[in-house]
């Protein structure tokens, strides 16, 4: 079956702009989690959605938000971009939650200039 897909793969934005990233989970998976990966901070949990509801949220400012649709596809939005938001954003899906195996997408590389 098809894996987790993320679009776009690469994105360049300027400070102050906003951005929306998209994630399509594996068919049948209802849990979608988002992570930010940077060289300095490593992999950090942003939030998890399950059946269109945010179930868990990491320690990120309110500029980071997300949502999940009825088909389990998820979007992540970052408003008022800062230079420090430059990172690889990874999406992962699982059948029922983070205690199960998560399947990761290839990520979206966001560069903020």
Partner 1 sequence: AQSVTQLGSHVSVSEGALVLLRCNYSSSVPPYLFWYVQYPNQGLQLLLKYTSAATLVKGINGFEAEFKKSETSFHLTKPSAHMRDAAEYFCAVTYSGGGADGLTFGKGTHLIIQP
Does 60 bind partner 1 (CB under 8 A)? Our answer is no
Tell me if 23 sits within 8 A of 5, measured CB to CB. yes
Among residues 92, 93, 110, 112, the one that binds partner 1 under rule CB under 8 A: 92
Does 99 bind partner 1 (CB under 8 A)? Our answer is yes
Residue among 112, 79, 95, 75 at smallest CA distance from 1 = 95
Question: Which C-beta is closer to partner 1: that of 7 or that of 80?
Answer: 7
44 CB burial (10 A radius; 0-12, 13-18, 19+): middle
Report in angstroms how near the CB of residue 106 gets to partner 1 at its nearest.
5
Does 22 bind partner 1 (CB under 8 A)? Our answer is no
Among residues 14, 17, 43, 71, the one that binds partner 1 under rule CB under 8 A: 43
């Amino acid at each position: 079956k098809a894996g987790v897909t993320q679009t776009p793969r690469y994105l360049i934005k300027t400070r102050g702009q906003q951005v929306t990233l998209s994630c399509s989970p594996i068919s049948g998976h209802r849990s979608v989690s988002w992570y930010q990966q940077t060289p300095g901070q490593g992999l950090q949990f942003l939030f998890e959605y399950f059946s269109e509801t945010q179930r868990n949220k990491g320690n990120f400012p309110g500029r980071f938000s997300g949502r999940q649709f009825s088909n389990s596809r998820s979007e992540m939005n970052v408003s008022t971009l800062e230079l420090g938001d430059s990172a690889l954003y990874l999406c992962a899906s699982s059948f029922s939650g983070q205690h199960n195996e998560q399947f990761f997408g290839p990520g979206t590389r966001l560069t903020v200039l």
